[in-house]
Amino acid sequence: MTASAFVLDEETPEWVRLDKLGVLIAAGVGLVLFFAPFVTFAANRIVLGEGLGVAEALPGAWAYGLVLASVAVALIAVVRSPVWLRLSASLAGIALLAVCVGAAASGLVEEGDTVARVSPASGFWLLFALFGLLAMDALARLKLPPIRRILLVVLAGAALAICLGSGLWNDLSVMREYQNRAASFGREAERHLFLALGSLGVAALVGIPLGILCHEVKAVRGPVLGVLNILQTVPSIALFGLLIAPLSWLSNAVPVLRDIGISGIGAAPAFIALFFYSLLPVVANTVVGLAGVSPAVTEAAAGMGMTERQRLFRIKLPLAFPVILTGIRIVLVQNIGLATIAALIGGGGFGVFVFQGVGQTAMDLVLLGALPTVALALAAAVLLDAIIDMVRPAGLKETAR
């Protein structure tokens, strides 16, 4: 048998041709199943945990089921299988992972033991990432319409709520950390959303008019964008620190500001810093969006007797809105992540748990702050991408973001 016998030619059916991404996913699944620990078990919160593989962490039936299901997903990924099958297999694999990690925790922790800790280990996270990569690839190939993408996010949120409400993960360490901090978790979640969304709202109110000014008055554009670019390069921690002195002085000089909570530390400097970071994407995308409006369209509007103000609000801004909204999407995802740093100056947010966990070398406490931050950022990106596609005029669907 010659080597050419293994070469796939044009007559080879599509379903038996190899998928390059699928080959990488399948190789990763094989390595993870045999060499990476699925969960980490620790007798208490302080000691280092012991990594346990799939066979050690799960009862026999669960272990065999997870291995067989993972192999099946890998085989579906390797060949150029139908997109709907790839998506279904990846989502089923993620669902099985969610159930198995909860079953592993319940099986390893004895009833009534409130000290032992079971955490997802590298094997779980790598399998989750590989199945998620397959799902994202399938979704990209499907090119779902905006409404279906929004529905998918809603369904994902509902599935997560069901898992949390069912008690499936109650024995996992991250859930035990949550149970110990349930009241503060809600408070910090509200603070995190306030910092991310509030700073974005103020940046939109200031940045869109400023972007219009930069577009209409060319002499202003260079200096304004230059200053905003400089602000964008300042490290977040440094900017928080630079705001402490002037805000402290203001709060002492103007008692009213101190009474409403503005001081050198806390939410005020964090909010202002996030506002500064939000300005550049909003202003720049407003300028780009307005500049991208075809001159022929504005000339036609002028020929119809529209004033400059009417052309701006009835023609230019509606056509530029998808690009402006893209800048807002960038800001929202950025702010959700940056708001975690606010905890360093007493600003609150999910960063409180992240930095407490780092200080106590408690990775589950770090996850308690990191996981909701990542979930919020992903959901915001998908939802705003879908909204952008919904408002983008026909013929401009491929506009560069």
pLDDT of residue 44: 77
Mean pLDDT for back-to-back runs of 10 residues, the chain (401 residues): 45 67 93 92 80 88 92 93 92 94 88 82 94 93 90 92 89 89 91 93 94 90 90 84 80 73 78 91 92 85 82 86 92 92 87 89 88 93 90 55 41
Distances from the Cα of 33 to the Cα of 60, 89, 129, 145, 344, angstroms: 15, 17, 13, 35, 39
Per DSSP, 118 falls in state E
* HSE value, Cβ hemisphere, 13 Å, CA-based, for 248: 9
pLDDT tens string 95-136: 999 999 999 998 888 877 777 889 999 999 999 999 999 999
Measure the CA–CA gap between 81 and 225, rounded to whole angstroms: 48
Helix (H) or strand (E) holding 117: strand 117-120
The whole-angstrom separation of Cα 62 and Cα 81 is 27
Q: How far apart are the first and last CA of the chain?
A: 51
The secondary structure of residue 110, as a DSSP letter, is P
Max Cα–Cα distance, the chain, nearest Å: 89
Six-digit token pair at 255? 């008692």
- What's the pLDDT at 131? 96
Predicted pLDDT of residue 269: 85
The string of DSSP letters for 342-398 reads GGGGT--STHHHHHHHHHTT-HHHHHHHHHHHHHHHHHHHHHHHHHHHHHSPTT-TT
The three state secondary structure string of 48-90 is CCEEECHHHHCCHHHHHHHHHHHHHHHHHHHECCCHHHHHHHH
Question: What pLDDT, on a 0 to 100 scale, did the predictor assign at position 161?
Answer: 92
Question: What are the phi and psi torsion angles at 265 (to 5°)?
Answer: -125, 165
Q: Give dist(CA 171, CA 101) in Å, integer.
A: 10
* Distance (Å, whole) CA 84 – CA 62: 26
Give pLDDT, residue 14: 55
pLDDT value, residue 90: 94
Question: What pLDDT, on a 0 to 100 scale, did the predictor assign at position 393?
Answer: 67
Q: Is 190 within 8 Å of 318 (Cβ atoms)? A: no
Alpha-carbon gap, residue 206 to 275, rounded angstroms? 10
Both structure tokens of 311? 């052309």
Sheet holding 50-52, edge to edge: 50-52, 39-42, 117-120
Please tell me the pTM assigned to this model. Answer: 0.83
Which H/E stretch holds residue 326? helix 317-338
Asked if 373 contacts 340 with a C-beta cutoff of 8 angstroms, the reply is yes
* Residue type at position 81: S
Outline where 79-145 has alpha helix (H): 83-108, 122-142
* The pLDDT value given to residue 70: 94
Residue corresponding to tokens 């001081």: 263
- Calculate the alpha carbon distances from 373 to 69, 131, 381, 400 in Å: 30, 21, 12, 27
Task: Residue 71: count other Cβ atoms within 10 Å of its Cβ.
Answer: 14
Quote the distance between the C-alpha of residue 41 and its chain's center: 28
How confident is the model at residue 394, as a pLDDT?
55
